[in-house]
Each structure stands twice: as structure tokens, then as C-alpha cells.
């Protein structure tokens, strides 16, 4: 009987243990209530990373994958087991590098394969293994343009027809800037890899192209992680070009007083945009109106939606966070 009482006490204590939370949700428009319930919390579901990035939800496995860029490692999170190591190395497969951030950054899925933006290897690559049995064996999708290596592909997005769009800032280089002696491309670009494997430069005027997402199949948003031009740009998409570039939102003034810059972002099926930026995650409707913010005390890198779009996962500095948005 004594053991039964102790067991019941232990189970009761565990069931009442409070989940650790971080930050607050700022509501700027009543339409946010349709996306995030008024009692939603920002849960800490993992912590202790050097710089968490590139989250992607894998519905078939009911798992979230995300990068720790400096650690050259991908982790996976599941409801049952929490965070576990998934793949090492993830972004640099050589013997020695000057890079402080050599690992994978953005992660996306395509035809049940994991596609990685690899800082250290300076390429977009596909993992040559199943999602269930990961191995550090890769095939290059894009490694050079005009015979010169990319700097450090950062984030990527597939169009519905299979075209791949990606950004290439210098953050994976040893000096993390345009003056790095190993930088080969004369610009920081936005690129297209066609379904035939042809690589094209689409934009060379964005100073620090970072996150990239399709808002609809013919509109794309690119984040610029430059403190002097902390801007989300929007473009219309032609078959093999971007045109009618405009400012989706300018957060340069916010970047002067809050941690973080425009970085990774995602869009839901209604065109609402969830964008990491100064102070946390900015939530816009499809017209660029701010509905609210997920305010965080640390710089925020990226986010991912679950397949049913009821949960938002956030990578922020040392944390992995979750917001259960609505039932």
C-alpha cells in the first residue's frame, strides 16, 4: 500500500508540473484571434543549443527537424521523446574549416527527401538516405554559379512545379562578411535551380538575403538581415525571374531597439506570414498588415508550421519553442 501511495503521489506531481514558457504574445489586430487563441502560450520544448535554425515539420514521422548551425548537427524533436540527435555532420563534411557556423541552416522537404542549406560545404544538397535512417551522405543540388563557389546558402523554398529558390549570404564564411578572402561570388544573391538543374541569379541587390518563402505560387518574400536595411521584400515570380520588387515591410527602426533581424519565415495556406525579425516573430496577413507579434527576449532565427497549421515551432538562439495556436 505504501508503494501505491508513493506512486500515486509521484504521478500527481508529474502531472501538475508546469511547462516552461518564454515571452509574450502581442495582439495588434483582432484578426490574430483567428490564428492564435487568446490563451496560447510559448512553450520551451528544447534548450541549450548554440544557435538553433532551419526547423521543418515532417508529418509522416510526426517529428520536427532543426539545425544547430555552429555545432554542425541536426536534431529531431518528437512529442514522445523530446529532442534527440539526428544527423552529424550536417553542413560541413571536410576536415578543417574557418567557419564559426559550418552546419546546416535551412532545411526543407522535397519528394520525401531532406534538402539542406549547408554552410560549411557551401552548397544546397540532398541527403542520400531515408528520413527514418539518416546518414551524412549527400548529393549536391547547387554548389557553384559561373564556375565560382557559393558563400553559404542560407534558406530555400520550392515552387509547386519543383523549381528551387535559395539565398546566399556570407554568414557561413570565416569572417561572415563580404571581405572574406574565401568569398567567390561578387554579390549576395537570390538564385533559382530549375527542374532541369539550370542555376540562375535572380536578385543581386539585396545586401543580406536570408529567409525566403512563397506567399502564393506567384509571390515570394525575401528577408534582408541587414541592420541598415532590415526589410522584407516581396516579388512577383515569372517562369525564371523575379519582378515588380517592393517592400513588404520595413523594420529598420525596430532593429535599432530590439534583438534580431529579418531572418527565416513561413506562410500558411491563407497567405499569412510568420517572420522572425526584431523582437521575435512578426505575424502579417497577406496584404502585409501586422496582426501581432510573438515577443521573445532573445534573437529569433526561424519558424515552421505543422501540417495542420495549428502549431508553430520557433528556433530562437538557444531555444526550441512551440506555440499551440488553436484547437
Q: φ and ψ at 11, to 5 degrees?
A: -65, -40
pLDDT, residue 14, reads 41
DSSP line for 85-99: EEESSSS--SS----
pLDDT, residue 17, reads 61
**Residue ranges of the chain with per-residue pLDDT less than 70:** 1-17
Q: In what order do the strands lie in the sheet with 302-305?
A: 42-47, 319-324, 311-316, 302-305
pLDDT, residue 12, reads 37
The beta strand positions in 227-288, using DSSP E, are 231-237, 242-250, 265-267, 273-277, 280-284
Q: Which of 255, 171, 163 is nearest to 210 (CA)?
A: 171
pTM (2 d.p.): 0.94
In sequence order, which residues have a C-beta less than 8 Å from that of residue 251 and are 6 or more positions away? 230, 231, 232, 262, 277, 278, 282
In sequence order, which residues have a C-beta less than 8 Å from that of residue 13 and are 6 or more positions away? none
Dihedral, CA of residue 270, residue 115, residue 124 and residue 135, to nearest 10: 160
Amino acid at each position: 500500500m505504501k508503494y501505491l501511495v508513493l506512486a500515486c503521489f509521484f504521478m500527481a506531481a508529474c502531472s501538475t508540473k508546469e511547462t516552461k514558457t518564454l515571452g509574450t504574445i502581442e495582439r495588434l489586430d483582432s484578426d490574430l484571434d483567428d490564428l492564435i487563441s487568446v490563451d496560447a502560450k510559448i512553450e520551451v520544448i528544447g534548450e541549450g543549443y548554440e544557435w538553433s535554425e532551419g526547423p521543418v515539420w515532417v508529418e509522416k514521422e510526426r517529428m520536427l527537424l532543426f539545425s544547430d548551425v555552429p555545432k554542425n548537427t541536426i536534431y529531431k524533436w518528437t512529442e514522445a521523446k523530446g529532442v534527440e540527435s539526428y544527423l552529424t555532420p550536417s553542413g560541413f563534411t571536410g576536415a578543417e574549416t574557418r567557419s564559426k557556423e559550418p552546419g546546416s541552416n535551412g532545411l526543407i522537404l522535397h519528394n520525401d527527401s531532406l534538402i539542406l542549406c549547408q554552410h560549411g560545404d557551401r552548397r544546397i544538397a540532398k541527403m542520400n538516405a531515408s528520413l527514418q535512417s539518416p546518414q551524412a551522405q549527400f548529393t549536391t543540388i547547387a554548389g557553384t554559379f559561373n564556375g565560382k563557389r557559393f558563400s553559404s546558402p542560407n534558406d530555400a523554398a520550392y515552387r509547386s512545379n519543383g523549381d528551387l529558390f535559395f539565398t546566399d549570404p556570407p554568414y557561413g564564411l570565416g569572417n561572415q562578411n563580404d571581405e572574406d578572402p574565401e568569398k567567390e561570388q561578387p554579390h549576395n544573391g537570390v538564385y533559382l535551380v530549375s527542374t532541369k538543374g539550370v542555376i540562375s541569379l535572380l536578385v543581386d541587390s539585396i545586401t543580406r538575403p536570408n529567409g525566403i518563402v512563397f506567399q502564393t505560387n506567384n509571390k515570394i518574400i525575401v528577408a534582408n538581415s541587414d541592420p541598415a536595411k532590415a526589410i522584407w521584400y516581396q516579388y512577383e515570380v515569372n517562369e525564371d525571374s523575379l519582378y515588380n520588387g517592393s517592400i513588404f515591410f520595413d523594420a529598420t527602426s525596430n532593429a535599432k531597439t530590439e534583438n534580431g533581424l529579418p531572418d527565416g519565415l513561413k506562410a500558411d495556406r491563407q497567405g499569412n506570414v510568420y517572420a522572425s525579425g526584431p523582437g521575435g516573430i512578426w505575424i502579417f496577413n497577406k496584404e502585409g498588415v501586422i496582426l501581432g507579434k510573438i515577443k521573445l527576449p532573445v534573437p529569433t532565427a526561424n519558424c515552421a508550421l505543422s501540417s495542420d497549421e495549428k502549431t508553430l515551432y520557433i528556433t530562437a538562439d538557444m531555444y526550441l519553442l512551440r506555440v499551440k495556436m488553436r484547437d
